């Protein structure tokens, strides 16, 4: 099944509490036209406090990049990934970095 839009938030890659194995498993098994990453995808705060970036975190990012080959991804900056501020409005392949995003839901 291909979903129209999936919204994910608060993945906190880079933090100890991150559930990277679950994230990877989900991304490997999902198909959608649009993926909205609704903030706090990478936990810059945890990394600044000395948290360790693990191979599983890199694998999760790799799965996002792989998914972006066939899926439009909107990454909305959250407070924990504020390092994205300088990239607002940029596109990296099929990934767009945004400050906010409004979804227009069609009337049935």
Q: What is the pLDDT of residues 62-91, one digit of tens each?
A: 999 999 999 999 999 999 998 999 999 999
What pTM did the predictor assign? 0.90
Closest CA to 15 of 49, 59, 39, 65: 49
Q: Per residue in 7-49, pLDDT tens?
A: 999 999 999 999 999 999 999 999 999 999 999 999 999 999 9
Q: Please report the beta strands in the chain, taking only residues with DSSP state E, as ranges in sequence order.
A: 3-8, 32-38, 72-76, 91-92, 95-98
């Amino acid at each position: 099944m291909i979903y129209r839009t999936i919204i994910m938030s608060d993945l906190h890659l880079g933090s100890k509490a991150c559930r990277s194995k679950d994230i990877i498993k989900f991304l490997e098994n999902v198909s959608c036209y649009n993926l909205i990453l609704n903030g706090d995808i990478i936990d810059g705060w945890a990394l600044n406090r000395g948290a360790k970036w693990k191979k599983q975190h890199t694998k999760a990012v790799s799965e996002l990049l792989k998914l972006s080959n066939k899926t439009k991804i909107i990454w909305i900056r959250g407070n924990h990934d504020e390092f994205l501020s300088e990239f607002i409005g940029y596109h990296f392949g099929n990934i767009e970095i945004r400050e906010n995003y409004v979804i227009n839901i069609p009337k049935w």
